[in-house]
């Protein structure tokens, strides 16, 4: 049988073209990334803000050494409940004891000096009395001699001698009065010295008494790491007293969330260390400024602890009610971090389009978001979003 060569050539070319097209179609099909999507809707959903932190006593008082010395007694350990006014640590401060002895000695010396000054005053008063009598006698004698001298009944030498005796008696009186004023001033100065010495003694006794560290309120001992005979220095931290009647949980929130949280806002706190037990708390403090490092606002939640089951250091997660959110609500798993941005991907014209978003509220599963060009009805990629690239061709699978 004779075959037309032209027909064979045409058939061969068509076969090659068909194979080539098939390869192209296969290649095209394989270049579209399969993804799953979910329709974005305009919803109103009650969303609370969730964050984790460590529970602490609402009042934690650090106690420090008020003097240097040797620890001679430790009357409680970590975890012990102690009452207000209880002596927890005693420190033997030889310097403080020596200071009391020295100050007491100075007080005794000052008291002795006061007694001496009073004796000087008494002696000066006696000297003044004697000097005044001597002056009066010398004055009478001088007047007598003056009359006799005027009548030329005595010599000038006798007259001058009487005059000199009067001057000498007056000088002694002036000296006695000066000594009296000196003694009075000395008594005043020595009284001041006694006051100063007494104040030093009171300070020394206070310093010595502070060697016994007493609690100001009742609570639980924590952060104690002391041993007997250990040397401690003034200002060294000894332990912390935790008032566990109420506890607190501090969490950080962003600027857009903190506007929705107020003092009195209820919060539910889940305690992992208590097998997931949930405790109802309330926000009692909202920071007015952001933390300089985290750039978040610190929110403090107060927790009741009547049975003292909550302990400082327990890990907990809080959910704070922030009211109903009316807007675009999406599953949080759809959010991808790209550099410093949070983005989501939507499918438009067969391609994945990246849209940077801002979270306006969230809980563990959902987030209310805003983003330029994002609208209700967009097809949100919820499976494949972590590997897809912007403007990459995608194929929606069910």
* C-alpha to C-alpha distance for 381 and 389, rounded to whole angstroms: 12
Whether 12 shows a pLDDT value over 50: the answer reads no
Q: Is the pLDDT of residue 287 over 60?
A: yes
Q: What is the pLDDT of residue 169?
A: 87
pLDDT tens profile 161-178 = 989 999 998 999 899 899
Q: What is the model's pLDDT at position 183?
A: 85
Determine the average pLDDT of the residues in 354-372. Answer: 86
Residue 398 CA to residue 392 CA, distance in Å, equals: 19
Which pLDDT does position 93 carry in this prediction?
A: 73
Tell whether the model's pLDDT for residue 6 goes beyond 50: no
Structural domains in the chain? 31-46+326-396 (2.40.420.20), 50-60+243-323 (2.40.30.170), 95-209 (1.10.287.620)
pLDDT band of residue 224 (cuts 50, 70, 90) is very high
> Could you read off the pLDDT of 303-340 as tens digits, one per residue?
999 888 998 889 999 999 887 767 899 999 999 998 88
Question: Mean pLDDT, the chain, as a whole number?
Answer: 85
Give CA–CA dist 248/95, Å, rounded. 41
DSSP states of 32-101 as a string?
A: SEEEEEEE--EEEEEEEEEEEEEEEEEEEEEEE-SS-EEEEEE---TT-EE-TT-EEEEEE-HHHHHHHH
* pLDDT tens track for 103-130: 888 888 888 888 988 988 988 888 899 9
Residue 201 has pLDDT above 90, yes or no: no
- Cα separation, 304 vs 280, whole angstroms: 8
pLDDT at position 13, please? 44
**Per-residue model confidence as pLDDT tens digits over 53-102:** 999 988 889 999 987 888 999 999 998 999 999 999 988 876 667 777 78
The pLDDT value recorded for residue 15 is 44
Give the full edge-to-edge strand order of the sheet including 69-74.
Answer: 212-214, 87-92, 69-74, 231-232
């Amino acid at each position: 049988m004779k075959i037309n060569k032209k027909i064979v050539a045409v058939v061969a070319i068509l076969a090659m073209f068909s194979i080539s097209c098939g390869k192209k179609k296969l290649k095209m099909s394989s270049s579209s990334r399969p993804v799953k999507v979910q329709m974005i809707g305009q919803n109103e959903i009650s969303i609370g803000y969730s964050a984790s932190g460590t529970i602490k006593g609402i009042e934690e008082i650090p106690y420090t050494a008020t003097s240097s010395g040797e620890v001679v007694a430790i009357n409680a350990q970590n975890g012990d409940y102690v009452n207000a006014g209880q002596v927890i640590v005693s420190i033997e401060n030889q310097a403080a004891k020596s200071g009391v002895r020295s100050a007491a000695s100075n007080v005794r010396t000052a008291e002795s000096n006061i007694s001496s000054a009073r004796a000087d005053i008494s002696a000066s008063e006696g000297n003044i009395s004697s000097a005044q009598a001597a002056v009066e006698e010398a004055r009478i004698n001088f007047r007598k001699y003056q009359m006799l001298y005027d009548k030329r009944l005595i010599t000038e030498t006798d007259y001058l001698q009487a005059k000199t005796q009067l001057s000498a008696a007056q000088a002694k009186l002036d000296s006695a009065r000066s000594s009296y004023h000196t003694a009075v001033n000395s008594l005043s100065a020595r009284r001041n010295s006694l006051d100063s010495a007494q104040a030093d003694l009171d300070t020394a006794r206070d310093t010595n008494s502070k060697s016994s560290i007493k609690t100001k309120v009742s609570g639980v001992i924590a952060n104690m790491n002391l041993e007997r005979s250990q040397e401690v220095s003034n200002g060294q931290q000894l332990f912390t007293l935790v008032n566990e009647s109420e506890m607190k949980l501090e969490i950080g929130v962003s600027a857009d969330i903190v506007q929705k949280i107020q003092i009195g806002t209820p919060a539910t706190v889940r305690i992992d260390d208590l097998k997931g037990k949930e405790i109802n708390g309330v926000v009692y403090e909202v920071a007015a400024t952001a933390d300089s490092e985290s750039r978040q606002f610190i929110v403090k939640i107060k927790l009741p602890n009547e049975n003292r089951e909550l302990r400082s250091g327990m890990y907990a997660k809080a959910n704070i009610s922030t009211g109903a959110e009316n807007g675009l609500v999406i599953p949080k798993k759809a959010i991808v971090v790209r550099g410093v941005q949070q983005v989501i991907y939507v499918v438009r014209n067969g391609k994945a389009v990246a849209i940077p978003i801002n979270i306006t509220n969230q809980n563990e599963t959902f987030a209310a978001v805003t983003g330029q060009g994002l609208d209700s009805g967009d097809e949100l990629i919820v499976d494949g979003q972590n590997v897809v690239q912007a403007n990459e061709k995608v194929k929606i699978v069910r």
